[in-house]
Chain A
Amino acid sequence: GENVEQHPSTLSVQEGDSAVIKCTYSDSASNYFPWYKQELGKRPQLIIDIRSNVGEKKDQRIAVTLNKTAKHFSLHITETQPEDSAVYFCAARGGYSTLTFGKGTMLLVSP
């Protein structure tokens, strides 16, 4: 089955800095890669996603890049703010839209 590796497990940045989280996947048939943000005690919320026919997608301060050849994708957050502090999960889509998730990255943004 699909295997998704996510790095780093924790990331500390100063407010205003950029943050990058990287994921690799194993199944070359995967064609959809979402990113979720989860605040403490809350449900995961979709923040951005990318399909395999696109190399990059942006939404304000958040961007995702995909390299299908290398089977890796990354989340980029610019101008980080304290409210960006949360756990971020990457995922890859398999059959019947099942998602395999990475183990998560705890992002801490210090004022």
Chain B
Amino acid sequence: NAGVTQTPKFRVLKTGQSMTLLCAQDMNHEYMYWYRQDPGMGLRLIHYSVGEGTTAKGEVPDGYNVSRLKKQNFLLGLESAAPSQTSVYFCASSYSNRAHYGYTFGSGTRLTVV
């Protein structure tokens, strides 16, 4: 039982390059989220999904796209990376059941855009 797995763990991109971050969970969670963490800013929600085939915008969605083709996977894409997207990205998942609100976080992806 791996929980939430993020790949890659580290990546350096040049401005204008594209990449996809993968989040996979094996807990049968309905909800999945992508956050970015910047120094002094806490964690800010980029996009989230409430089920297979659904996505929604969070607080800071510009410059990112997401897809959830399978329940266990949530992909975050950067089409044309910018230095402002240098950050640590965390994926999280949770049940939809009101009895279980807690998040399970992945280990994070440290992305540097030069």
Contacts and interface: CB of A to CB of B under 8 A. Distances in A.
Contacts of A89: 42-43
Contacts, number: 54
Interface string A81-98: 000000001000100111
Contact of A100 (B45, B102, B103): B45
Given A89-B42, A96-B31, A44 B90 contact: yes
Interface in A21-58: 32, 34, 42-46, 49
Contacts of A44: 43, 90, 103, 105
Determine the interface band of chain A, counting residues with CB < 8 A from chain B.
20 to 34
Interface stretch (A12-20, A68-76, A101-109): A101-109
A93 B50 CA distance: 15
A9 B48 CA distance: 27
A78 to B, nearest CB: 23
A96 B48 CA distance: 9
Instruction: List the 3 closest A-B pairs by CB distance, nearest first.
Output: A101-B42, A103-B42, A43-B105
